[in-house]
Structure 1
Amino acid sequence: MPYLSREGEVFVLYLGNEGEDDSENRFHPDWMDAVHARLDEVEASEGPAALVVAATGKFFSNGLDVQWIFSNLDGLPGYLDRSHTIFSRLLAFPLPTVAAISGHAFGAGAMLAISTDFQVMRSDRGFFCLPEVDLGMPFTVGMSALINSRLPKQTAIEAMTTGRRYGGADALAAGIVQVAVPGEDVLPTAIERAASLIAKRGPNLASIKRSIHGALLDDLAITTGDTGFSFGQ
């Protein structure tokens, strides 16, 4: 389950299991609950602080838990709505946020990464990818809005319609991330960036973020069951 560590005034939310490097960090319902619980802990803290979202091993996050979905198809709309709350929470989080993308970020995992304020990606391994077009999986209204809001338009078109896998240098050139560095430098670079912003923490920052992302947050709040969403569209 996701866990927290702290580097000075910077909280680091690790998406995987402590002591393990082989987790795909998929959006299982229990995993999403744990992410929210750790974010609750960060919000309950006091004083200047920032948040880095990180992972260990091969994956940053491999996205939706497809195995859980196909075992619980009746619960799909609610499951997707729950995944949207992860994105919304980070978009309006009252602390500065930085994603340390040290491994593959696929599907909803890629969307999680771009829900933070800033992104640092590994330049020598790992991909940012939206593979839904190849999997026969449509994007929800909220997911489409997130990608189109957070990525340059032509990058969003290419990423969504081709399933291109962007390495770190390609992601930097495409405007997906702001920094691409060797693997050992991803987390320290993200922490350094976050540490420079700790004084920004507070309700005013959250208000500014909500004003920036207002229309996107509204789209992410649309109930999936009301949109006629289904696989195979």
Structure 2
Amino acid sequence: MKSPNVSSRDLQEEPSDHETMEKLRALTSWRQDSVDSWIDSQRRIESVVRCAIAFLRVQSSLASGNRIWLLFSGYGINLVPGLWEFCFVGFGFAREANSGKAEHRFNKESIDAIHRALDEVEKDSKATALVFTNEGKFFSNGLDLGRIGKDASMFEAIVADFHVLLKRVLLFPIPTVAAICGHAAAGGCMLALACDFRVMSAERGYIFLSEIDIKIPLTPGMNGLIQSKILGNALHKAVLTGHKFSAKAGVESGFIDAALPDPASTFKEALDRAKALASRKFDRLVYGTMKREMFKVAVKELEDGGFGPIPRPVLLARM
């Protein structure tokens, strides 16, 4: 944060009492903001360091030839040589990168960044599992609708790009685990569902589909994905009421694999599961083919794209 243009010399030139108080107030405010910002950043760094230590412990215990990758939204920091390059892959706006309050929304930049990260994972012949997780309040709050605004062409483009991302994660050729340590809303819920396994913190966040409330219907591709992962009455509640599922309710409904007390234990559980999966050294071609067959209805809908039965002009006019 840049300091206000106030110097000690200014205060020595005997300005009016009002001017002096305003300048002192500005100095005090800047210093307090700086202190608050510093404290907040230290807390976030401590959180990331704890994750990094847990991650390194699991990574170092893997058998030779195995490597777990981690896509960590909300922070990008080279904690030790090679850690960022080989383990952590951040995504999102640069302005969001150091903010625990970031909502980790999907837009062209963040989707492109995730694809680049996934490219790196696929190029790594030792990669045998992938963990998605987050720092802060949100796993992801979905599409960046605020940025899209009323731009119909941008909305269509971002939905098409999101379909491609969901399909890629759904069919990723190594096991994927979502460690949900914050709210997973709308598109954030879908990204978690696209993963093979999901563990969630009971302390922080809900997982839900908010489209019924924001008056934007789910596309056939999104519906196909959701229906392949959420079943029965839980599907009705999720899609038609926007019900917010806690971690415990998600487990009871069958689409969350484990509920943990807090983000730290959630992250550890995800790593433990990833380690167990990595040790199996699944053949990538076979693993990816099995998933393509298992989710062939969802895959076809995601590949076909489109917005479904509502005429596009009518849908876009409601934005």
Q: Give the TM bin, normalised by the shorter chain.
A: over 0.9
Match status 1:166 vs 2:245: yes
- State the Cα RMSD in Å: 1.8
Name the TM-score, length of structure 2 as normaliser.
0.68
For 1:99, the equivalent position in structure 2 comes to 178
Structure 2's unaligned 5+ residue stretches are 1-51, 60-66, 78-97
Match status 1:113 vs 2:165: no
Match status 1:150 vs 2:229: yes
For 1:191, the equivalent position in structure 2 comes to 271
Q: Which structure would you say has the larger Rg?
A: 2
- 1:114 aligns to what SS in structure 2? helix
Aligned partner of 1:214 among 296, 306, 310: 296
Match status 1:12 vs 2:70: yes
Give distance in 1, aligned partners of 2:277 and 2:120: 19
- 1:10 aligns to what SS in structure 2? strand
Instruction: Write 1 or 2 for the structure with the bigger share of strand.
Output: 1
Match status 1:203 vs 2:261: no
Q: Which has the higher contact order (CA 8 A, sep 6+)?
A: 1
Give distance in 1, aligned partners of 2:209 and 2:162: 16
Match status 1:59 vs 2:141: no
Give distance in 2, aligned partners of 1:136 and 1:48: 40
Structure 1's unaligned 5+ residue stretches are none
Give distance in 1, aligned partners of 2:241 and 2:217: 13
Letter in 2 for 1:206: G
Name the TM-score, length of structure 1 as normaliser.
0.92
Give distance in 1, aligned partners of 2:287 and 2:241: 35
The number of residue pairs the alignment matches comes to 229
Q: Kindly state the Cα deviation for residue 201 of structure 1 after the two structures are TM-superposed.
A: 4.7
Letter in 2 for 1:186: T
Contact 2:221 2:305 in 1 (8 A): no
Structure 1's 212 and 101: CA in aligned 2 closer, same or farther, altered over 3 A? Answer: same
Contact 1:15 1:35 in 2 (8 A): no
Sequence identity (%): 32
Moved more, 54-63 or 200-209: 200-209
Which string of whole-angstrom CA distances, capped at 9 and with x for unpartnered residues, describes residues 23-76 of structure 1? Answer: 211001100000000000000001252000111100000001011221532222
For 2:12, the equivalent position in structure 1 comes to none
Contact 1:148 1:156 in 2 (8 A): yes
